[in-house]
Chains A and B, each alone.
Chain A
Amino acid sequence: MSSKVERWCGLLVLLVLAVLIVIPFLSIFLASMQPAGSAVTGLSLPEEWNLDNYRQAWTAAGFSTLLRNSLVVALLVVPVSVVLATLAGYALGTMNLRGENAILLFFVAGLTIPVEFIVIPLYFNLQAVGLGNSLIGVVLAEIALFMPFSVYWMRNHFRAMPRELVDAARVDGASSAVILRAVLLPLARPALTTLAVLVFMWSWNQFMLVLILIQDPDSRTAPAGLGFFVGQHGLDVPLLSAGTVIVILPILLVYLIFQRSFIAGLLQGGLKG
């Protein structure tokens, strides 16, 4: 195979794949613009562009509440996860604690926990302490679920910092809190941003946990509400499509704004156990 042929084959493969990735999104978007309740066929341009499905999904199906719930959960999960992981990662990455490897291994062991493995007792125990059907229960569970990755991520970041930085500050008599705040944190911005966007994404997209921990469909987050919406409006393709687009758009926007951090995180953040 000559290198020219190879080059064109490569580009062709890339283009075909790009089209294959775009088509589903195009399909759902076009369907969402068709008149409500109409029969839609595959990829077809609507005769008149129609935003009424969005209005209906927004009000009748309560997506405004669902999105607000999603936002509340994410805005609680992200800062708590980031702060706690930073503290733990700092200690595990720079302090040579005794038993540090065992602690780290204990966290790393949790990297592949499936929701299925924790959700049953969570449901019963949160209910028992009065946190059944509450966003707080979801928040607590999500923080714990993402903690192995978050700690592992921050620990690796602090581990990679030049030792001299920390040592020099110690020599100058800085306390551990000051070293973290004044020396290490200013340098940690990229790592923190990446962690924050990843946790935001996982929190936003979490489905099974919310579906189970919150039984009342109106109190759920957007993806879980969408899951319920399918059951109710599965036959009304335009309306269902509008609901789907509503759930996709926010996270897509965040992705476009923070694409660098997202891609860095998704690339390096795979489970390097």
Chain B
Amino acid sequence: MSNTVADTAPPVRATAPRSGAPRGEKRAPSWRGYLYVLPALAFYVLFAVLPMLHTVYLSFFDWDGVTVASWVGLGNYREVLADPDLRGAVLNALTLVVFFSWLPIVLGMVMVGLLARHPRRGMTAFRLLFFVPQVVPLVAVGITWRWMYGSDGVVNQALRAVGLDTVTRAWLGDADFALIAVGLVGTWAMSGLCMVLFFSGVQKVDPNLYEAARIDGAGPVREFRTVTLPALRGEVAVALTVTTVAALASFDIVYVTTDGGPAGNTNVPGLLVYRLAFTQNEVGLAAAVATVLAAMILFLVFTITRLVKPE
């Protein structure tokens, strides 16, 4: 490359001005670079980071949202641990992780196990379809399933069609089944994402690896364990993170399907934050629930990245 650098400035940082903090650094500080970051940073700090800190701050107060707040220290947190409703919501969220996260990942694994060795041409169409639940609003998904689960809905219709009339019920109103029913909506919504993620991951595997495994006499199961699974580590990490966060922070689906009922059996932290802060005027307590929720998410995401990507 012929260049005419000689008479201009040093090649790198050609535009760095002389002003900047005069600390005698080797490279003139490119303050202009920070100007590019500043607007994004300002939005993020003002409308996300400060509110987060503010939520933590509020969690130490007893406040009804109107009158003067009073400091209660860890009181709200003690209540989160002690109150069966609040504790129950946290446990429900953890149960939902099984349905939103583990089941879809297992389903995705099964599918990849069956399809990995036989790339399929029609896959693009399936992929387009499998992502639809990720694209439509969860509120709409929730309403759709609410109707599917109703006494006259598709689920019961299907059960009757195969002679299981005795099993039919209003699923979302049943104390024993409501949480499972809500969870399965999550399974429905998340499975496609996991499948397509894993499928695209497996397509990057060198076919020679499969060749080699087969020459060594590996059957489909061992092949899956020794070749496919290790290759999918990154994709599994992504799937686990996305779906776990979706389960813990779930709100939309629960709000429209059960609204926490029957008898609080499907309460989740998001629902309690909403209700405590905006209908029951327990803002401090709501902030404590939100903080516990965020801490749980942070902890799980950290653990997942640690476990799945050990490098």
Alpha-carbon separation in the docked complex, A263 to B1 (Å): 39
Question: Are B278 and A123 neighbours in the complex by a CB distance under 8 Å?
Answer: yes
Q: Does B294 touch A at the CB level, under 8 Å? A: yes
Digit string of A38-72 for contact with B (CB within 8 Å is 1, else 0)? 01111100000000000000000000000000000
Question: Are B188 and A267 neighbours in the complex by a CB distance under 8 Å?
Answer: no
Nearest-neighbor residue (CB-CB) of A224 within chain B:
B139
Contact of A118 among B52, B147, B220 (CB under 8 A): B52
Contacts of B287 in A (CB 8 A): 120
Contact of A145 among B48, B110, B122, B234 (CB under 8 A): B48
Question: Are A270 and B197 neighbours in the complex by a CB distance under 8 Å?
Answer: yes
Nearest-neighbor residue (CB-CB) of A118 within chain B:
B51
For residue A52, give the distance in angstroms from its CB to the closest CB of chain B: 19
Question: Which residue, A11, A110, A141, A147, has most C-beta atoms of chain B within 10 A?
Answer: A147
For residue A265, give the distance in angstroms from its CB to the closest CB of chain B: 10
Contact of B157 among A7, A41, A251 (CB under 8 A): A41
Alpha-carbon separation in the docked complex, A25 to B129 (Å): 12
With A7-B118, A170-B12 already in contact, the answer to whether A273 and B241 are too (CB < 8 A) is yes
Question: Are B15 and A121 neighbours in the complex by a CB distance under 8 Å?
Answer: no
Question: Which residue, B33, B50, B283, has most C-beta atoms of chain A within 10 A?
Answer: B33
With A42-B153, A117-B290 already in contact, the answer to whether A262 and B135 are too (CB < 8 A) is yes
Query: Which residues from 1 to 53 on chain B have a C-beta closer than 8 Å to any C-beta of chain A?
Result: 1, 3, 5, 8, 11-12, 14-15, 29-30, 32-34, 36-37, 39-41, 43-44, 46-52
Q: Does A188 touch B at the CB level, under 8 Å? A: no
Alpha-carbon separation in the docked complex, A18 to B256 (Å): 25
For residue A148, give the distance in angstroms from its CB to the closest CB of chain B: 7
Question: Please, how many residues of chain B have a CB less than 8 angstroms from a CB on the other chain?
Answer: 107
Question: Please, how many residues of chain A have a CB less than 8 angstroms from a CB on the other chain?
Answer: 101
Q: Does A247 touch B at the CB level, under 8 Å? A: yes
For residue B147, give the distance in angstroms from its CB to the closest CB of chain A: 6
Question: Are B147 and A27 neighbours in the complex by a CB distance under 8 Å?
Answer: yes
Question: Are A251 and B256 neighbours in the complex by a CB distance under 8 Å?
Answer: no
Alpha-carbon separation in the docked complex, A17 to B192 (Å): 9
**Total A-B contacts with CB atoms under 8 angstroms apart:** 305
Question: Are B41 and A98 neighbours in the complex by a CB distance under 8 Å?
Answer: no
With A18-B126, A144-B46 already in contact, the answer to whether A171 and B14 are too (CB < 8 A) is yes
Q: Does B213 touch A at the CB level, under 8 Å? A: no
Contacts of A201 in B (CB 8 A): 135
Q: Does B245 touch A at the CB level, under 8 Å? A: yes
With A3-B118, A171-B11 already in contact, the answer to whether A144 and B44 are too (CB < 8 A) is yes
Among B78-86, B174-182, B225-233, B269-277, the stretch in contact with A: B269-277
Describe A's contact surface by its main secondary structure.
helix
Q: Does A1 touch B at the CB level, under 8 Å? A: yes
Nearest-neighbor residue (CB-CB) of A148 within chain B:
B44
Nearest-neighbor residue (CB-CB) of A208 within chain B:
B251
Alpha-carbon separation in the docked complex, A113 to B55 (Å): 12
Question: Are B47 and A140 neighbours in the complex by a CB distance under 8 Å?
Answer: yes
Question: Are A168 and B1 neighbours in the complex by a CB distance under 8 Å?
Answer: yes
Alpha-carbon separation in the docked complex, A240 to B143 (Å): 8
Question: Are A13 and B143 neighbours in the complex by a CB distance under 8 Å?
Answer: no
Question: Are A41 and B152 neighbours in the complex by a CB distance under 8 Å?
Answer: yes
Question: Are B139 and A226 neighbours in the complex by a CB distance under 8 Å?
Answer: yes
Q: Does B293 touch A at the CB level, under 8 Å? A: yes
Contacts of B120 in A (CB 8 A): 10-11, 14
Q: Does A160 touch B at the CB level, under 8 Å? A: no
With A24-B148, A122-B51, A267-B196 already in contact, the answer to whether A207 and B137 are too (CB < 8 A) is yes
Alpha-carbon separation in the docked complex, A237 to B277 (Å): 31
Question: Are B33 and A176 neighbours in the complex by a CB distance under 8 Å?
Answer: yes
Question: Are B36 and A91 neighbours in the complex by a CB distance under 8 Å?
Answer: yes
Nearest-neighbor residue (CB-CB) of B252 within chain A:
A207
Alpha-carbon separation in the docked complex, A230 to B147 (Å): 11
Question: Are A27 and B148 neighbours in the complex by a CB distance under 8 Å?
Answer: yes
Question: Are B40 and A87 neighbours in the complex by a CB distance under 8 Å?
Answer: yes
Question: Are B139 and A116 neighbours in the complex by a CB distance under 8 Å?
Answer: no
Question: Are B11 and A223 neighbours in the complex by a CB distance under 8 Å?
Answer: no
Contacts of B169 in A (CB 8 A): none
Contacts of A28 in B (CB 8 A): 143-144, 147
Question: Are A27 and B154 neighbours in the complex by a CB distance under 8 Å?
Answer: yes
Alpha-carbon separation in the docked complex, A25 to B136 (Å): 11
Nearest-neighbor residue (CB-CB) of A127 within chain B:
B65
Digit string of B221-251 for contact with A (CB within 8 Å is 1, else 0)? 0000000000000100011011001001101
Q: Which 10 pairs, one residue from A and one from B, show the smallest C-beta to C-beta distance?
A: A42-B157, A144-B47, A270-B238, A114-B249, A91-B36, A121-B54, A88-B40, A118-B51, A144-B48, A205-B137
11 contacts between A and B (CB under 8 A): A6-B220, A39-B152, A41-B152, A80-B43, A88-B39, A113-B48, A205-B139, A227-B139, A230-B146, A270-B238, A272-B234
19 further A-B contacts with Cβ under 8 Å, apart from A124-B283, A176-B33, are A10-B111, A27-B148, A40-B152, A42-B154, A107-B44, A113-B294, A114-B293, A120-B286, A145-B47, A147-B40, A147-B44, A170-B15, A173-B8, A175-B15, A223-B137, A247-B140, A251-B137, A270-B197, A270-B241
